[in-house]
Amino acid sequence: MQYSEFEAAIRNFLLDSNYTEIQDLLLDWIQEHVSDTQLQNEALGHATECRKIAKDDRKGLKTSEEIDVAYNNFRLHVLQFLQDVKKYMDKLALAKASDQSRPELIKKVRNALEDLNYKKEILLFRKFQLQKKQNRGIFLINGSKYYGQNWLYRLLLKPVRGQRGNEALREVVIDFSGQISIDMFWFLMYDQFNVSEGENKSESKRKLLETITHIWENDRSLVFRIEMNGDIPPMDLLAFIQEFWLPLHQHTEAKNSENMLLLFLIFGQTFDHQSAVSEQQEAVFATDLNDQWKPGSPLVFDIGLLDQNEVLRWLEGRINHFDDILDLDEMTQQLMKNQPTIFPEIVMIGFCMHYKLSFQNQILAKN
């Protein structure tokens, strides 16, 4: 159903005071066509409001005058909501048209950004795969806001997707933001793999590990992407690794599979991994694949800031690909915002804006 049909249907249902159809269509259509979280939450709020009015009307909990007032207010809210959704759909259509009209430019910009930063992290990941011959691993992508954690995550997965294809890879996304309870993580993971949380927690965890292992061994590669925004104590993260990842790594050790089993912990603010030590006071997180590193141990990618020389050298490598890069110093200052160091993602956003592209919508989301 196109937006125009959706809007017409909602308006007709509003005229007929068709409570059930309004609720169902609002939730179903928005969930299918709109990815904006705020609009999704508003749709849920309107559906809840509609349900309450219908209940009050059906059970006679309010007078007809009170129902009329409540319904008129609800109707105005929904009509305003339709305007907001139309603006969103218009922007989406504009971005899509832009994507289709400038595919070569988008490809050039994306390729350029792939060479901007993170070479050290990418080489470390390749070393993990090729030199250490590992297909199971846990990684901590560490940095503050605008360090480009999500971009690095996509760069690391790019060769994995290229080798196996999206259909042979299952990405499991868990938003653990603001949570410090390991029990909540298990609850979210049970839901992802359709495992019942029984009274016997040990048995439930065993079933979960067996389910994950079966998928990895017989079906496809598994990539866990755990969003870790918020102030998470190092020892709580250590508990997560010891209770989930290490048992999973041990459970799959004797299995023979060419599929990848990867877990990425993506932090939205810098995490002090050096303060997380084992009971034997040994460092848990490794920053290099040296002799002290053990298979199954977390490998840290510490993202840093960019300085002026790094941005200048990067632009020098782009001259032959972009005809409008003429004054390197001027464009460097434009991207650096006259600062000695800058967040990598700010440079990427600025470079995209120079070509009238959206980093979030046309580059990051499509990578």
Q: Write the pLDDT tens digit of every residue in 114-149.
A: 988 888 899 999 988 887 788 899 999 988 888 999
Ramachandran region, residue 191 (left: φ > 0; alpha: ψ -120 to 50; beta: rest): alpha
Contact yes or no for 160/169 (Cβ under 8 A): yes
* Sign, CA torsion 134/140/143/144: positive
Quick one: what percent of the chain has pLDDT higher than 90?
23
The backbone torsions φ and ψ at residue 136, rounded to the nearest 5 degrees and listed phi first, read -130, 125
| Predicted confidence (pLDDT) per residue in 220-264, tens digit | 899 999 887 766 777 777 888 888 999 999 989 888 888 899 999
Q: Which residue has the tokens 């049909």?
A: 5
Burial class of residue 166, CB neighbours in 10 A (0-12, 13-18, 19+): exposed
Domain count, the chain: 3
Q: What pLDDT, on the 0 to 100 scale, is given for residue 101?
A: 56
Query: Which residues in the chain land under pLDDT 50?
Result: 280-281
Shared domain for 92 and 125, answered yes or no, is: no
- Among residues 302, 319, 347, which one ends one of the domains? 302
Q: What pLDDT, on the 0 to 100 scale, is given for residue 281?
A: 43
Shared domain for 133 and 281, answered yes or no, is: yes
Q: Domain span at residue 166?
A: 118-302
Strand pairing category for 306-307 and 169-175: unpaired
- Among residues 37, 71, 101, which one ends one of the domains? 101
Q: What pLDDT, on the 0 to 100 scale, is given for residue 307?
A: 92
Supply angle C-alpha 121, 276, 301, rounded to 5.
Answer: 5
Shared domain for 140 and 78, answered yes or no, is: no
Shared domain for 250 and 335, answered yes or no, is: no
Shared domain for 124 and 89, answered yes or no, is: no
Query: What contacts 363, CB < 8 A, 6 or more positions away?
Result: 106, 109, 110, 113, 348, 352, 357
Q: What pLDDT, on the 0 to 100 scale, is given for residue 149?
A: 92
* Sign, CA torsion 238/239/244/249: positive
Q: What is the CB-side half-sphere exposure of residue 160 using CA atoms within 13 A?
A: 27
Shared domain for 165 and 280, answered yes or no, is: yes
For residue 149, how many other CB atoms are within 10 A of its CB? 24
Contact yes or no for 170/221 (Cβ under 8 A): yes
Q: What is the SS3 assignment for 62?
A: coil
Token readout for 167 is 């259909």
Shared domain for 183 and 283, answered yes or no, is: yes
Shared domain for 158 and 276, answered yes or no, is: yes
Q: What is the distance between the alpha carbons of residues 57 and 135, in angstroms, rounded to a whole number?
A: 60
- Among residues 272, 302, 332, which one ends one of the domains? 302
Shared domain for 265 and 232, answered yes or no, is: yes
Shared domain for 339 and 209, answered yes or no, is: no
The CATH number that applies at residue 127 is: 3.40.50.300
Shared domain for 213 and 272, answered yes or no, is: yes
| Predicted confidence (pLDDT) per residue in 26-41, tens digit | 888 888 888 888 888 8
* Sign, CA torsion 187/191/196/202: negative
Q: What pLDDT, on the 0 to 100 scale, is given for residue 165?
A: 61
Shared domain for 192 and 250, answered yes or no, is: yes
The residue type found at 116 is L
